[in-house]
């Protein structure tokens, strides 16, 4: 009979058989899929696993710290943390076209990972958090982007590994169940999706540090208030966006000329269509008040009412 405990036992045996006493490398983004793969591999092969976490500087507040905290006990020195923020932001300077930004972030991610992989010696296997929907051909632009970024495709010919993909038969809900069974924190396993290019596609146009900071801080406030209101359990994806234009406002009787923050909160089944969550006014007003008072360079908050199609979920 098929249940999650048996699945894990089977995969542990299969991984041990495939890998033997060799070493396995994993790009640990901190997303659900790569985290579940990491937990499964820790169980199967312990310190034969080496994880590389690349912080591209476009992560949410405290996110990279959380990834390190979650696995440092199990992995110790086998968890390689790379702070590549400066490098990514340098490459992205002056770039304002959304697809160009995505391409740069994706390519740079592969390059940083490749450099780290070269520093490590005696690695024969590359683990990936590929899940069933990833291998089903969809032909849509988003899915191709999602795939190439998540799966570290595009490594050079001379740096080829044999793949370990223990989740390839599972759907997302089964991956989550697997994570829970492996003892990962509930919050981590049930968190909302986060795009590979991160906050980079939520700072519209050129990614400028002060606007990146504003989107990161406002996102943290939004997530905190959603959790307090229980909306984190209910809404599929919720985040903030910062445009690249300013408007006039007033604070302490002085004129301001600052950026708006846009709140997006949507529900969907497959991300191909989406509807807007009808958030209660008092919650929206509280979030608005906090963002205007706590986030630098922001003087307005707007709520995006657009469904998909019409808009997409992200703004870029």
> Using CB under 6 A, which of the segments 20-28, 240-248, 293-301, 306-314 binds ligand XMP?
306-314
288-296, long-range: CB < 8 A, 24+ apart = 290/221, 290/225, 291/218, 291/221, 291/222, 291/240, 291/261, 294/217, 294/221, 295/214, 295/217, 295/218, 295/221, 295/261, 296/210, 296/213, 296/214, 296/217
CA distances from 145 to 36, 139, 177, 231 (A): 21, 10, 26, 28
Pairwise CA distance, residues 222 & 195, whole Å: 17
Annotated binding-site residue? 148 = no
Alpha carbon 134 to its chain centroid, in Å, reads 16
Pairwise CA distance, residues 70 & 263, whole Å: 29
| Least spacing, CB of residue 270 vs ligand XMP, in Å | 9
Of the residues 271, 286, 290, 306, which one makes contact with ligand XMP according to CB under 6 A: 271
Q: In the structure encoding, which two tokens stand for residue 165, read together?
A: 């993909």
Query: x-or-dash pattern for ligand XMP, window 5-44, by CB under 6 A?
Result: ----------------------------------------
> Using CB under 6 A, which of the segments 1-9, 69-77, 160-168, 307-315 binds ligand XMP?
307-315
Give the residue with the Cβ less far from ligand XMP, 139 or 282: 139
Pairwise CA distance, residues 291 & 296, whole Å: 9
260 lies in the site for ligand XMP, by CB under 6 A: no
Annotated binding-site residue? 32 = yes
Annotated binding-site residue? 24 = no
74 lies in the site for ligand XMP, by CB under 6 A: no
211 lies in the site for ligand XMP, by CB under 6 A: no
- Can you point out the beta strands (E) in the chain? 23-27, 49-55, 79-83, 123-127, 162-164, 237-241, 247-251, 254-267, 275-276, 298-303
- Can you point out the beta strands (E) in 195-243? 237-241
Strand, helix or coil at 108?
helix
237 lies in the site for ligand XMP, by CB under 6 A: yes
62 lies in the site for ligand XMP, by CB under 6 A: no
Site for ligand XMP in 137-156 (CB under 6 A): 142, 145-146, 149
| Least spacing, CB of residue 36 vs ligand XMP, in Å | 16
| Least spacing, CB of residue 198 vs ligand XMP, in Å | 9
Query: x-or-dash pattern for ligand XMP, window 181-210, by CB under 6 A?
Result: ------------x-xxx-------------
Give the residue with the Cβ less far from ligand XMP, 237 or 299: 237
| Least spacing, CB of residue 314 vs ligand XMP, in Å | 3
Pairwise CA distance, residues 206 & 218, whole Å: 18
Pairwise CA distance, residues 139 & 161, whole Å: 26
Annotated binding-site residue? 31 = yes
Interface residue list for ligand XMP (CB under 6 A): 102, 142, 145-146, 149, 193, 195-197, 237, 271, 308, 312-314
């Amino acid at each position: 009979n098929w249940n999650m405990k048996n699945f894990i036992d089977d995969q542990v045996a299969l991984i041990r058989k495939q890998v033997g006493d060799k070493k396995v490398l994993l790009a640990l983004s901190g997303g659900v899929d790569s985290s579940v793969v990491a937990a499964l591999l820790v169980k199967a092969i312990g310190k034969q696993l080496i994880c590389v976490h690349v912080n591209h500087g476009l992560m949410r507040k405290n996110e990279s710290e959380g990834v390190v905290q979650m696995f440092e006990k199990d992995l110790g020195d086998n968890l390689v943390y790379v702070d590549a923020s400066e490098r990514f932001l340098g490459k992205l300077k002056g770039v304002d076209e959304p697809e160009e930004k995505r391409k740069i972030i994706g390519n740079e991610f592969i390059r940083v990972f490749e450099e780290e992989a070269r520093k490590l010696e005696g690695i024969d296997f590359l683990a990936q958090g590929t899940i069933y929907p990833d291998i089903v051909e969809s032909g849509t632009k988003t899915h191709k982007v999602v795939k190439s970024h998540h799966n570290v495709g595009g490594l050079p010919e001379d740096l080829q590994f044999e793949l370990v993909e223990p989740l390839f038969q599972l759907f997302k809900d089964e991956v989550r169940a697997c994570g829970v069974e492996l003892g990962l924190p509930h919050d981590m396993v049930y968190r909302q999706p986060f795009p590979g290019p991160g906050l980079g596609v939520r700072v519209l146009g050129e990614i400028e540090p002060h606007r990146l900071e504003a989107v990161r801080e406002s996102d943290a406030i939004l997530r905190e208030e959603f959790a307090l209101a229980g909306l984190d359990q209910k809404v599929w994806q919720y985040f903030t966006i910062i445009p690249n234009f300013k408007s006039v406002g007033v604070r302490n009787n002085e004129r301001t000329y600052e950026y708006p923050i846009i709140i997006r909160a949507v529900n969907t089944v497959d991300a191909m269509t989406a509807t807007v969550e009808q958030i209660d006014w008092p919650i929206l007003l509280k979030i608005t008040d906090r963002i205007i008072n706590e986030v630098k360079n922001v003087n307005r908050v707007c709520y995006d009412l657009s469904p998909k199609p019409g808009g997409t979920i992200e703004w870029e």
